[in-house]
Structures are given as C-alpha cells and as structure tokens.
C-alpha cells in the first residue's frame, strides 16, 4: 500500500475523469452515476442560462443529497462575477461536496477571497473548515502569468487548469490544434501544478467534436504524456476513453514492477544503478516506476 501513495507527494486522491452535468438536466444524473466517471461536476456556469441560475441553485442541495451516498466525487462549478458567485457559493458549500470549480481566476488574492467565503460558509454549516477543495481555472493572458502564485495561494487548491477556449480566443489561436499556440501554456500549467505538489487535470487541446472519440483518445494520450493526470468531459461516451488513456497501460505496469524489483535488489547489494533490457535503471527511473505503480493502485 505504501508504494501506492509514496510518490504522490502525500496526496491520496487525484481524478482521471470528471463529467459535467448541467444542474437543471435531471435526466443526466443516473447516466452520470453509471458512466464510470470518478467525479461529477454539477455546473451552475455556462450550461445554465442566466434566467435559470436561481432555479439551478435551489435544485443543487437536493441533487447533492441524492448523489452523496455514491462512490463518486461531487464538484460544483460556480460563476465568476462576484454577485453570481456569492449566491452560487451560498448554494454549493454543502456537506458531500468535494470541491468548488472557480472560472476566470485572476490572482492569488482572488483565490484567497473565495476561500474566505467558503471558510465562513463551512463554519456556519458545521463543516470542518478547509474540507471543501477549490479548482482554479485561469482563462486570460494576464492571469496566466500568475499561475505559480495561484497554485500555492491556498491549501484548498486541488489543481489549476487553463480555460482552453477563452484563452485561445484571447490569443487568436485555434484551441483544437494541440501543436499550436496553447501547447506551451498547457505545459507551463503542468509545471506550475507540479511545483505546488498538485496533480493537474486537463487536455492539451479542446475537443471540438465530442462525438469524435478517436480524436479524444489521441488528445488524452498526448495529455498524459505531457503530465496531466485526468480530464473533464461533457458526454458519458467520453468517460471510458478518458479513463483508459489516463490509466497506466498493462505494459507500463509490468515495466514499472520489473524496474522496482530490480532496482531494490541492486540497492540491497550496494549499487544505485543497474541495467535492464539494455537501459540504465537509476534513481530517477526508479522514481518514475514508483509513480506508475502508485497510479496503478489508485486507479484500479
């Protein structure tokens, strides 16, 4: 069991697949629960028209009560403008909620202010302060340069994401081109998360056509290679593709176990490097292998 957690910087949970569900579309709930997603994101933002925001907030607590007995994490995405966000937080800070996803985050100060509101609501509602996590979504060039500070702004932060569509619009680049302008920004996001000890969720590019699962597979595999550990999606058919792409393959697991056993045997004989299949196995390779083993345990 120790091997499962050792190399994840003390964190015991990361998410491979998170499925968006517009709060008012009740018929999606059963499907979402059975989709294989590790988390449901109950959306109060873009998928809810302005005129229906109050209705969605009123519905949230019933929905969370219905879902919280299941083995699935519950996230709520709130709106960015303060007047909407405060009302969203009033509705969303409830027992059973894993984290609040906050779009259009600008700075570390912005995160702190939101975290303070969550803290007050937790205290008033008998939830241990600090229980509910926060996902920060950065969506414009100015905030992008605050990524590192945002990632360490508050212990609630689970990870920081880039809002692909909005950022691409600001830059005037194609969000679905994984080799285009966003690639560097995506990798910087991985680095900022890793520096803060966080496990980044995201895709290297946006999925223009959610029915194109072949393309999703390629994008998700590329994202894993870049260091992302999971992705959000909007349709249940995307979930198995994402789960598979972000899980260690059988080949990776076998390789990792061989490396671990061989290296530990070599260490016991007093050497910190050994050869396997013509390649040198040393401490960084061992560390990478232990990471794969950790992911295999968590994702079984």
- Binding interface with ligand 1VU (CB under 6 A): 19-22, 27-28, 31-32, 43, 46-47, 234-236
d(CA 300, CA 298): 6
Residue 276's beta-bridge partner residues? 279
Q: Find the shortest distance in angstroms from Cβ 246 to ligand 1VU.
A: 18
For residue 205, the 8-state DSSP code is: S
**Closer residue to ligand 1VU (CB): 95 or 206:** 206
285 phi-psi bin (left φ>0, alpha ψ -120 to 50, beta other): alpha
Q: Find the shortest distance in angstroms from Cβ 74 to ligand 1VU.
A: 14
Decide if 24 contacts 59 (C-beta within 8 A): yes
**Closer residue to ligand 1VU (CB): 34 or 261:** 34
**Closer residue to ligand 1VU (CB): 96 or 236:** 236
Q: Find the shortest distance in angstroms from Cβ 203 to ligand 1VU.
A: 10
Q: Find the shortest distance in angstroms from Cβ 248 to ligand 1VU.
A: 26
- In what helix (H) or strand (E) does residue 187 lie, and over which residues does it extend? helix 182-195
**Closer residue to ligand 1VU (CB): 31 or 244:** 31
Phi, psi of 253 (to 5 degrees): -60, -45
What is the C-alpha end-to-end distance of the chain, expressed in Å? 13
d(CA 67, CA 76): 13
Q: Find the shortest distance in angstroms from Cβ 136 to ligand 1VU.
A: 14
Q: Find the shortest distance in angstroms from Cβ 22 to ligand 1VU.
A: 5
5's CB contacts (< 8 A; 6+ apart) are 12, 294, 297
Decide if 228 contacts 188 (C-beta within 8 A): no
**Closer residue to ligand 1VU (CB): 24 or 274:** 24
**Closer residue to ligand 1VU (CB): 16 or 290:** 16
d(CA 220, CA 223): 5
Q: Find the shortest distance in angstroms from Cβ 167 to ligand 1VU.
A: 11
**Closer residue to ligand 1VU (CB): 189 or 266:** 189
Q: Which string of DSSP letters, residue by residue, matches 111-127? A: HHHHHHHHHHHHHHTTP
């Amino acid at each position: 069991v120790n091997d499962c957690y050792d190399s994840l910087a003390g964190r015991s949970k990361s998410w491979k697949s998170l499925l968006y569900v517009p709060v008012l579309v009740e018929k999606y709930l059963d499907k979402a629960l059975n989709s294989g997603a590790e988390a449901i994101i109950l959306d109060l933002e873009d998928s809810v028209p302005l005129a229906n925001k109050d209705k969605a907030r009123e519905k949230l607590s019933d929905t969370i009560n219905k879902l919280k007995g299941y083995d699935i994490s519950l996230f709520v995405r709130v709106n960015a403008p303060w007047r909407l966000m405060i009302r969203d937080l009033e509705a969303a800070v409830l027992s059973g909620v894993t984290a609040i996803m906050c779009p259009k985050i600008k700075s570390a100060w912005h995160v702190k202010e939101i975290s303070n509101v969550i803290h007050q609501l937790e205290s008033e509602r008998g939830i241990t302060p600090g229980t509910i996590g926060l996902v920060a979504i950065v969506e414009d060039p100015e905030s992008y340069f605050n990524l590192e500070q945002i990632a360490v702004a508050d212990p609630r932060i689970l990870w920081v994401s880039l809002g692909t569509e909005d950022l691409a619009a600001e830059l005037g680049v194609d969000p679905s081109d994984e080799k285009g302008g966003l690639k560097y920004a995506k990798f910087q996001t991985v680095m900022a998360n890793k520096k803060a000890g966080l496990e980044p969720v995201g895709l290297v590019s946006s999925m223009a056509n959610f029915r194109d699962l072949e393309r999703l597979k390629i994008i998700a595999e590329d994202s894993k290679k870049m260091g992302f550990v999971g992705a959000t999606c909007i349709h249940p058919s995307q979930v198995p593709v994402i789960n598979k792409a972000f899980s260690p393959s059988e080949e990776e697991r076998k390789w990792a176990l061989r490396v671990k056993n061989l290296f530990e045997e070599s260490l016991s004989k007093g050497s910190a490097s050994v050869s396997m299949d013509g390649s040198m196995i040393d401490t960084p390779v061992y560390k990478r292998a232990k990471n794969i083993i950790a992911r295999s345990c968590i994702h079984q």
